[in-house]
Amino acid sequence: MPSIRPISDLRNSANEISDFCRRTREPVYITRNGTGDMVVLNHEEYERQMALIDLYGKLAVAEQQIADGAEGEDFALVARQLRERVHGNL
């Protein structure tokens, strides 16, 4: 169930809201005059969600390239090349 708080709680209970967001990794929805106004989210969770959005965008581009006929690379070859870069020749 979402946490919904009035905007006055930002002034009066900011630390409590911050602790809640950090502990639960869930957003707190802030209302102004009974209407949704903003969302408060822990910084780490925000960064995680932004990274996911970026990843989904890259996946969409890759899927479109495949649909347009682009040739992919062999996974085993790419994985071996990455391991060699990280760990040296195996």
> 49 CB contacts (<8 Å, ≥6 apart)?
41
Banded model confidence at residue 89, pLDDT cuts 50, 70, 90:
low
pLDDT tens digit sequence for 46-70: 999 999 999 999 999 999 999 999 9
Same-domain status, 23 and 54: no
Residue 21: CB atoms within 10 A of its CB come to 21
**Is 37 in the same domain as 49?**
no
CATH of the domain at 30: 3.40.1620.10
Same domain, 11 and 26: yes
Question: From residue 11, how far is each of 15, 22, 31, 69 by CA, in Å?
Answer: 9, 18, 13, 55
Same domain, 35 and 50: no
Overall number of domains in the chain: 2
Q: Are residues 53 and 75 in the same domain?
A: yes
Domain residues for the domain of 29 are 3-41
